[in-house]
Structure 1
Amino acid sequence: MAKYLQKRRRVWYAVLEIPRSLRPHFGGKARLVRSLQTESLTEAERLVLGVVSTWKAIFEAKRNGVATKDAITALQAQAEELQLQGWNAYDIKHRQAEIAELFEDDDLRNAVGVVHGDYIQLDQYIDDYIAMTEGTAKTKDMKAADLRRFAKKFSYADEAPRLQVMDWVDHELMAEQKLSAATCRRIISACRGYWAYLERHHKLDTPQPFDKVVPSAPRKKTKEDVRKRRKHFGKGDYQKLLDGSQRRSEVLSALIQLGAYTGARIEELCSLKLEHLTDDRFKIEDAKTSAGIREIPIHSHIKTLVAQLKKDSTDAYLLSGLTFNKYNDRSNAVGKQFGRLKADLGYGPDFVFHSFRKGVATQLETAGVAENVTARILGHEFRTITYGLYSGGVSFDVLAKALGRVDWRWQWVVGA
């Protein structure tokens, strides 16, 4: 203990040699010296423990390259150690703040503030927040990435006033990174949810800075908006894509036919198990929304295909042999195959697999099918009070008759 203590004019001081490799971080100083403000050796021996352990913790952070996160970890561990030795919170904070000032290091000053609750480091609780949110693994990963993007720009809550957040959105996200307003609204929505979590669970009392920081969506669609809007496939598109797929992959060909004659989402079709099929219907159990859990009649034009797929399946799925990605999604690889196919055939980004779903809706509307029936087939929310809230749904026969109006075959006119 004596090597850490030095008496000057009856007052005891804490003294610690700075490792030679770290001296450039401290202006070339050879040692750190701090008054313990006591003439009692017993009291000095008690106080010097906290000072020296803090200094050593900071040395370790400096060796690893000072970062606020490293300093927080070091100071938090040291604060807990001092608490076990009987130090009160005020004395621990005061001592650590003194040391931060001695080092003249902003990272240490910030770390002391975080450890003692003066302000919140924005990346500190992201993992905890994501763990308690609902959604798929993919949705959670996207939300975490959005929050880390925000926390990389604004380290602390009090460094993110509304005007600076607005400037970040306008100049960095939209102008430099070319993100769309819709993507920026998603990022800000994630940040707003995280901020509310910090208010509720970590006593954040800084006003949230997100109101109107993203330009509002225009009320009137521009010509560019209309041009970019995803389009529906027509009968000619179906034949073109089906012919192209048959030269590439049997599974891709089957997927296109199933999509065209069910209007189902690609994820719904790829996750469809044999146990969810009967002779006349698909039972969609793995859907995007509660409205998506539904029964779809098996169209007469794909009955033979479905029977063959069931017979050939080796893994209990209707579309056999697909692989899972890290999000437990079987549609990823075959979806990319479809993307390459449609691009090779000259289709742009406004045409996607979902365009079959839009094509089914278009055919049903053209055939005069009631909107509530189409909504039941496609698995859309139906928000009217009478049908959406009170109705138990239409009969399966009505659904089958309506879906039977869908026909992707060319209609040749005799004598034309």
Structure 2
Amino acid sequence: MASTDTKHLKLRGNVWWYQRRIPKDLQDQFESQTTISESLGTGDIREARRQRNILNGRLEERQFNTPNTGRHRFLELVQEMSEHKSLNPEGWDEPYDLDKASKEGDDVFIHAYTTVNGRKDQRSKYTISIKEALNVWIRKFERDKTQDTVSKVKNAVDNFLKYLKVYDILLTDITKRQVHDYIEVLQTKYAKTTVQGQISRMRSIWTYCESLDEVSTASPFDGHSYTGGNNTNKKQPFTIEEIQWIKENVATNEPNKRLLLELGVFTGCRISELCNLQVKHVITDSDITAIYIETGKTDAAERIVPLTDDLGSRVKVLADNKLEDDLLLGFDNSSEMSRWFSRIKTENISTDSAKCFHSFRVMFSTAMQQSGVDELKAAAILGHKRGNTMTYGYYSRGYELQQLKEAYDQCVERIIW
């Protein structure tokens, strides 16, 4: 007798479709979608069943790897029951039907009930996951961090989950050994500082959740050893010939990209800092035009950087045609622009990864030093740590723009372009 198994299958014309309701605990992963409807591209019932079984298996895997199922409901129930208990210690549980919950297999309700009545504390089963912790971190810090920094934190979490081969994981389930092994894998492909950065970004999420009392155990991201030297990927300057090629060939017919390039050469700013510039960050004081770097890689990155007269006039013309909160250059993804420059560099100049857009920062810093610019002024323009003493570090308001422009002009004379 032929099998009549067509569960989650529907024949439309001559083609089988996969159709099923999405399990409730997975609906948040499908943007509130409640059903899946997908053509299997075959009229053969045997092939349709095979594909259906694969799709069912993937859903089951996602369910298995999705922590925090019912987390918010559990927390709400615990809060509600605890309030009832504080108001009526003897009869607080009268409104709750434990027998019904047991018959229906409502584990979330049962766990909340046993937690509040003191039989067994089940809170550890409903702690925050790393994806939820990431979202909490983003809501807190996205206004204070650059888009590039937020993107790097997201990528750090995504890459770690891909390594673990899970969709998500509870923060408290992450072990120090897992992080150790992940570091070992990363170190076969990346420089020491890159690996440290990946782990540091996840540590920042843990630290913030710890401040919210979401986690209380030791961080699995602390106390690890890293191999390789600090200068594994130290950026190198371009040669005179390479700079000449860049000047003559890169973005010659793309004004905004050309301006990005020349701002990198003549300010030493990081590409993320330049891409994050808004029109309101263009400053004019007397005959000096400068850009205000509001946020950057470090706390010291906030600074005012003077421009050459030519760059200043081009920046002002661009700014005059936009609103204050508009991106000055119109590039909202610094990583994409970094890849744009790297592709050109790799195809035409050098495959050395130590030569990149950041090399302009190295060259600008070198020009500062070779032209004899005072180190504190150089640090103020480049956004390096400065003023360690109480006098300079706490009380000083820094240099006037005119003083910075004088130091800047002294340096610009040595820039090769």
Taking structure 2 as the reference length, what is the TM-score of the superposition?
0.60
Distance 1:395 1:98 in 2: 72
Seen in structure 2, the aligned counterparts of structure 1 residues 169 and 380 have a Cα distance that, compared at 3 Å, is closer
Distance 1:140 1:308 in 2: 30
Equivalent residue runs for 1:323-338 within 5 Å: 323-325=330-332, 335-338=338-341
Please say if 1:373 is aligned against 2:373: no
Question: Residue 307 of structure 1: which of 306, 313, 319 is its match?
Answer: 313
Distance 2:330 2:256 in 1: 12
Distance 1:147 1:246 in 2: 34
**Corresponding residue for 2:38?**
none
Q: CA deviation at 1:125?
A: 3.6
Please say if 1:277 is aligned against 2:284: yes
Question: Residue 140 of structure 1: which of 147, 150, 172 is its match?
Answer: 150
Aligned length: 337
**Corresponding residue for 1:131?**
139
Distance 1:139 1:157 in 2: 21
**Corresponding residue for 1:359?**
363
**Contact 2:243–2:416 (Cα < 8 Å) also in 1:** no
**Contact 2:270–2:358 (Cα < 8 Å) also in 1:** yes
Q: CA deviation at 1:195?
A: 3.8
Q: CA deviation at 1:179?
A: 4.9
Q: Secondary structure at the match of 1:258?
A: helix
Please say if 1:256 is aligned against 2:253: no
Q: CA deviation at 1:336?
A: 4.5
Distance 1:365 1:240 in 2: 25
**Contact 1:285–1:293 (Cα < 8 Å) also in 2:** yes
Equivalent residue runs for 1:174-323 within 5 Å: 174=187, 178-199=189-210, 201=212, 204-212=215-223, 214-216=224-226, 218=228, 225=232, 228-233=233-238, 235-245=240-250, 247-270=252-275, 271=277, 273=279, 276-278=283-285, 279-288=287-296, 291-299=300-308, 303-304=309-310, 306-308=312-314, 310-311=316-317, 315-316=321-322, 322-323=329-330
**Contact 1:284–1:293 (Cα < 8 Å) also in 2:** yes
**Corresponding residue for 1:104?**
none
Taking structure 1 as the reference length, what is the TM-score of the superposition?
0.60
Report % sequence identity.
Answer: 22
Q: CA deviation at 1:380?
A: 2.1
Which is worse superposed, 366-375 or 110-119? 110-119
Question: Residue 347 of structure 2: which of 326, 337, 344 is its match?
Answer: 344
- 5+ residue gaps, structure 2, are 1-5, 9-22, 28-33, 35-55, 85-90, 116-120
**Corresponding residue for 1:162?**
176
Seen in structure 2, the aligned counterparts of structure 1 residues 140 and 362 have a Cα distance that, compared at 3 Å, is closer
Q: CA deviation at 1:363?
A: 1.4
Please say if 1:407 is aligned against 2:413: yes
Seen in structure 2, the aligned counterparts of structure 1 residues 334 and 87 have a Cα distance that, compared at 3 Å, is same
Seen in structure 2, the aligned counterparts of structure 1 residues 194 and 339 have a Cα distance that, compared at 3 Å, is closer
Equivalent residue runs for 1:381-392 within 5 Å: 381-385=385-389, 386-392=391-397
Distance 1:113 1:355 in 2: 61
Q: Secondary structure at the match of 1:259?
A: helix
**Contact 1:252–1:337 (Cα < 8 Å) also in 2:** no
Distance 1:57 1:251 in 2: 48
- 5+ residue gaps, structure 1, are 1-19, 23-55, 102-106, 412-416
**Contact 1:294–1:376 (Cα < 8 Å) also in 2:** yes
Distance 1:366 1:295 in 2: 22
Distance 2:342 2:299 in 1: 28
Seen in structure 2, the aligned counterparts of structure 1 residues 295 and 366 have a Cα distance that, compared at 3 Å, is same
Q: CA deviation at 1:357?
A: 2.1
**Contact 1:232–1:359 (Cα < 8 Å) also in 2:** yes
Seen in structure 2, the aligned counterparts of structure 1 residues 305 and 382 have a Cα distance that, compared at 3 Å, is closer
**Contact 2:174–2:220 (Cα < 8 Å) also in 1:** yes
- Aligned AA (1:261): F
Q: CA deviation at 1:150?
A: 4.8
Seen in structure 2, the aligned counterparts of structure 1 residues 401 and 241 have a Cα distance that, compared at 3 Å, is same
Which is worse superposed, 379-388 or 309-318? 309-318
**Contact 1:259–1:357 (Cα < 8 Å) also in 2:** yes
Distance 1:253 1:129 in 2: 35
Deviations 1:345-403 (A, max 9, x none): 31332222222222121112112222112112223220431433444334544433332
**Contact 1:276–1:283 (Cα < 8 Å) also in 2:** yes
Distance 1:150 1:351 in 2: 28
Distance 1:95 1:374 in 2: 68
Q: CA deviation at 1:76?
A: 4.3
**Corresponding residue for 2:118?**
none
Q: Please identify the structure whose Cα radius of gyration is greater.
A: 1
Distance 2:311 2:206 in 1: 51
**Contact 2:291–2:307 (Cα < 8 Å) also in 1:** no
Which is worse superposed, 194-203 or 353-362? 194-203
**Corresponding residue for 1:393?**
398
- Aligned AA (1:170): E
